[in-house]
Structure 1
Amino acid sequence: MTKRHLMGAAAALLATATVLTACAPGGSSSSSSSAKSPSGVSTDVAGDDVTLKVLDFWQNEEGKWMDAVVAGFEKQHPNIKIERTTQDWGQVMNTLNLRLADPNGPDIALVNNGWQSMGTLAKGGRILNLDAYASAYGWKDEIPSTILRQEQFTSDGKQMGSGSVYAVPAARSSLIGLYYNKAALDKLGIAVPKTLADLEKACAAVKAAGQIPIAYGSQDKGSSTAILFGLQDLYSSAKDIGDFVYSSGSVPITSTGITQAATALKKWSDAGWLTPNHQGIPFADSMNNFLAGKGVFQFNYTGSLGFSAAQKQTYGYVQLPQANGDQVVGTGSTVGNLAISAKSKHPDAAAAFLDYMASKATAQASVDHGYLPLLHNDVKQSAPDPELATEIAAQQKLTDSNGFVPYFDWSTPTMLDTLGGQVQLLLAGKSTPDQLAAAGQKDYDAFQAQRAKG
């Protein structure tokens, strides 16, 4: 499971422990405790030397990508120096509130989506309302609304997915979709699926040939949901899924495609299309099995599978259209949301860095380092990587349809655990699709009641 998905799941852990001229701030009104959107912002950051302190969790290979992004920004803005502090995800999240309260803390930090991180930080005035910068840099015009919605909260921290902009997405993404082993498909004379019906026909043929259609491991609750969420996107609209996750209106869980997804998953299990004895297989082992040829398909998060150079020539990725039509809806988000500390002495310079993090240059750096870009699909691959090319093409379909939906487990701090447990019960024959949906609705209703109490 990718770190990006852990950003969604981490909310549960925390709960339990194009430049335009600058203009006045917009968006929703701020509460007395909230950091207001700065007026009189400027996109002209040339002049005095400035050092910006950035707190992030990108290390190792990801760290090389971030180093390249920083170098590009500093070349464009020679008077601004970026000073990174890098720690693992848990350290960053567990100390973020205190660090942002420190006048000597970071100017810029990665924040988590969701109620317990971005919402709490917005309500507590720890991070800046970025509406003025969003207007100055044109972010609301350049960023797809289904992605920008992931960066929005009302200033009282009570409503996710609307209100003011509190963070900016990095131009790198993570999606949930279908991976396939093209070499295995070619050997069996099966075409790469283009629809759900194609996939089911292919799975039946793979099974008939004595092979495993879908590599899977359900021992881990959280990871076991990848296939459920991937299927869910084929049965509901981006609006209904988004409105449920963001608690907008009164969309019931039965309108989010979850029941149909669970029904399909149970049918696949009964047909023997999943790895035998998957109940005892950790999801990490299922990924290794898939890469070893033990399974022709796998629903997974982009960036999770460590393809070798040779495997990049023979594996691919597809974002299937919806079951009843050609609309493409898929779970997808940035790998990181960057916010500006309310205590930063250099908010204009910090906003320039956020704008660069969402730029085509950063997307190009993503591709150059073998990662899936976001916001800019017209980047060029400098080296042959057919597998990454299929991911970019699939994401383009999502962008064209504005079909990005948030991770479904963002809906409550405990939804990932609830649905993960229900998937395990469903596949063991101890629950039904309707019961799975009912458990999710119960979890959701309990959280909404808790929110209402304040």
Structure 2
Amino acid sequence: MKKRHLMGAAAALLATATMLAACAPGGSSSGSTNAPSGASTDVSGEDVTLKMLDFWQGEEGKWMDSVVAGFEKEHPNIKIERTTQDWGQVMNTLNLRLADPNGPDLALVNNGWQSMGTLAKGNRILNLDAYASAYGWKDEIPTTILRQEQFTADGKQMGNGSLYAVPAARSSLIGLYYNKAILDKLGLQPPKTLDEFEKACAAIKVAGQVPISYGSQDKGSSTVILFALQDLYGSAKDIGDFVYSSGSVPITSTGITQAAAAVKKWNDTGWLTPNHAGVPFADAMNNFLGGKGAFQFNYTGSLGFSAAQKQTFGYVQLPQASGDQVVGTGSTVGNLAISTKSKHPDAAAAFLDYMASKATAQASVDHGYLPLLHNDVQEPSGNPELATEIAAQKKLDEGNGFVPYFDWSTPTMLDTLGGQTQLLLAGKVTPDQLAAAGQKDYDAFQTQRAKG
């Protein structure tokens, strides 16, 4: 089978919180293969009700309802019973709920050590290798996305080993948004390079406006600008190898120091929102949407553009500072796993397969979200903002430039680098010290991993 492509055809995505750190409690088991002895794709026959725990609400909930309806139409004997709560509630209680024999059959799990890795090691979620073979997932899902779902059974290695979750056919990127109305008034074009971006920021500052809308009060979301810039300086291989603990790549080889230096320069030049230390990131987003700032680095799908704003805002994935290679942080918006307690794993696996299908990708497009894994969905019309996100994801897909979220590298990296970014912008640490703090966090975690 041909691998499903990452490139999609629409825009907008999950809220910023979804991309932040996971926080599931630890498991108690030393880990096991916990793969089913048999796996069947034939789920016709008896009536089955699957309980599912997810955090998709509001407009996203409507998308998920349409996916469920599509699946149930294909499999009329299987019903999906959804329980939805906010992201924090799901993540904080997931370990205990999956340990309950009457708990969910299906659940959203977050990437990284602290959620998916802990649940795999604790024997809370099913090893999906048998189903991956039955459905051909490892042949169809691109390696850059597949690695995000893999752990060794002992929970010691991320990015290889067995499959413990399947991606939904929706994606999330980190990149640069712009307000075309502001740029047009100043005679500026949307930037295509880092140099063009910096020249635009200088001109916007001279015109008395805020170049980059930003809020650094929230530790976690303060890092989005840092990670976006890191992708302009670090190679996809080095960033990926660091996050997945493959080899001995130091943090200084991932572009983080250069990114921190650039952020500090922009701050010192006055390109960021004044007094951003007191601005929550949610307020910074509202400010940007309200015309207070020409640019903003953000997660796709976080801004919630109105119909009118979709005509005047756009998105770009800037190429690297040296050369034209495009590297960007990107992943699925959600990973579905099967509880080891589920009495209907075959039916649950059929739903996982549907979540990664073209039908789900098309449903993503139809609800205004950026799809994943499929490039042959029908594009909506009349949404210029959407088209810019499509173009950005195409560039990443064509150059295989996707990298995992950098904070997945340790359970505490987001908190560490978030705090360091706040200190950097307050003039209390240097870019080198920020990188050193990240390396210290990483080394401590590697030592802990080695002990088991």
**TM-score range relative to shorter protein:** over 0.9
SS of 2:63's partner is helix
- Aligned partner of 1:23 in structure 2 is none
Question: Measured at CA, do residues 308 and 108 of structure 1 come closer, stay the same or move farther in structure 2, by a change above 3 Å?
Answer: same
Q: Supply the distance in 2 between the matched residues of 1:354 and 1:268 (Cα, whole angstroms).
A: 44
Q: Aligned pair 1:208/2:219, yes or no?
A: no
- Aligned partner of 1:6 in structure 2 is 17
SS of 2:396's partner is helix
- Aligned partner of 1:62 in structure 2 is 60
Instruction: Check conservation: 2:170, 2:372, Cα contact below 8 A.
Output: yes
Moved more, 421-430 or 334-343: 421-430
Q: Supply the distance in 1 between the matched residues of 2:348 and 2:328 (Cα, whole angstroms).
A: 31
- Aligned partner of 1:274 in structure 2 is 272
> What percent identity do the matched residue pairs reach?
84
Instruction: Check conservation: 2:230, 2:254, Cα contact below 8 A.
Output: yes
Query: How much does 1:40 deviate?
Result: 3.4
- Aligned partner of 2:216 in structure 1 is 218
Using structure 1 for the length normalisation, give the TM-score.
0.92
Question: Measured at CA, do residues 14 and 121 of structure 1 come closer, stay the same or move farther in structure 2, by a change above 3 Å?
Answer: closer
Query: How much does 1:5 deviate?
Result: 5.0
Moved more, 150-159 or 405-414: 405-414
- Aligned partner of 1:428 in structure 2 is 426
Q: Supply the distance in 2 between the matched residues of 1:98 and 1:419 (Cα, whole angstroms).
A: 29
Q: Supply the distance in 2 between the matched residues of 1:111 and 1:236 (Cα, whole angstroms).
A: 28
Structure 2: state its 5+ residue gaps. Answer: 1-12
- Aligned partner of 1:368 in structure 2 is 366
Q: Supply the distance in 1 between the matched residues of 2:32 and 2:451 (Cα, whole angstroms).
A: 20
Moved more, 375-384 or 344-353: 375-384
SS of 2:261's partner is helix
SS of 1:233's partner is helix
- Aligned partner of 2:302 in structure 1 is 304
Deviations, residues 288-309 of structure 1 (Å, cap 9, x unaligned): 1111111111001111112111
Instruction: Check conservation: 1:4, 1:174, Cα contact below 8 A.
Output: no
Query: How much does 1:35 deviate?
Result: 4.2
- Aligned partner of 2:342 in structure 1 is 344
Deviations, residues 161-213 of structure 1 (Å, cap 9, x unaligned): 11111000111121110000111111111111111111112112212222211
Q: Supply the distance in 1 between the matched residues of 2:207 and 2:236 (Cα, whole angstroms).
A: 36
Q: Please report the RMSD computed on the Cα atoms of aligned residues, expressed in angstroms.
A: 1.9
Amino acid corresponding to residue 346 of structure 2 in structure 1: D
- Aligned partner of 2:230 in structure 1 is 232
Query: 317, 320, 323: which is aligned to 2:318?
Result: 320
- Aligned partner of 2:411 in structure 1 is 413
Amino acid corresponding to residue 310 of structure 1 in structure 2: A
Q: Aligned pair 1:46/2:44, yes or no?
A: yes
SS of 1:316's partner is strand
Using structure 2 for the length normalisation, give the TM-score.
0.93
Q: Specify which structure has the bigger relative contact order, considering alpha-carbon pairs within 8 angstroms and separated by 6 or more residues.
A: 2
Query: How much does 1:32 deviate?
Result: 7.9
Query: 364, 385, 388: which is aligned to 1:387?
Result: 385
Structure 1: state its 5+ residue gaps. Answer: 18-30
Moved over 4 A (4+): 2-5
Q: Supply the distance in 2 between the matched residues of 1:95 and 1:211 (Cα, whole angstroms).
A: 44
Query: How much does 1:230 deviate?
Result: 0.2
Instruction: Check conservation: 2:170, 2:364, Cα contact below 8 A.
Output: yes
Amino acid corresponding to residue 191 of structure 2 in structure 1: P
- Structural mapping, 1:239-258, within 5 Å: 239-258=237-256
Instruction: Check conservation: 2:24, 2:95, Cα contact below 8 A.
Output: no
Query: How much does 1:336 deviate?
Result: 0.9
- Aligned partner of 1:72 in structure 2 is 70
- Aligned partner of 2:135 in structure 1 is 137
